[in-house]
Amino acid sequence: MNQLNNYVITDNSANPAPLGLLGFGLTTVLLNIHNAGYFEMNSMIFGMGIFYGGIAQIIAGIMESRKNNTFGFTAFISYGFFWLSLVALLVMP
C-alpha cells in the first residue's frame, strides 16, 4: 500500500464571514449617511464601494465557497458585485 493515502488535508483558514459582513455593513452605513444628506458623494464612498464593499466581499465569497458555505458564497459574491456595479453606474455616465 502507498503511504501517501494516510494523509488528510484540513482547511485551517480563517472564517471569512466577518470580512464579508463588515464590508457590507460599513459601506451600507456610509452610503446611507450620504443619502441622509450629511455629506456629498465623493471619492471616499467610491473607494469604500470598490475595495471594501466590492473586492473584499468577493474575496470573502470565494473563501466561503472553499468552506462549502453556499449561502455565504452567494450573498458575499452578489453584494460584492452590487457594490462594484453601483460605483460603476455612478462614475461612468
Q: Is the CB of residue 24 less than 8 Å from the CB of residue 59?
A: no
* For range 49-70, the mean pLDDT: 94
When computed from its CA atoms, the radius of gyration of the chain, rounded to whole angstroms, is 18
Which tens digits make up the pLDDT trace of 5-57? 667 778 788 899 999 999 999 999 999 999 999 999 899 899 999 999 999 99
pLDDT score recorded for residue 22:
95
Cα separation, 74 vs 25, in Å, equals 16
Q: Which three cell numbers stand for residue 56?
A: 473584499
Q: pTM of the prediction?
A: 0.83
Cα separation, 45 vs 42, in Å, equals 6
Report CA torsion sign: 75, 80, 85, 87: positive
pLDDT score recorded for residue 8:
78
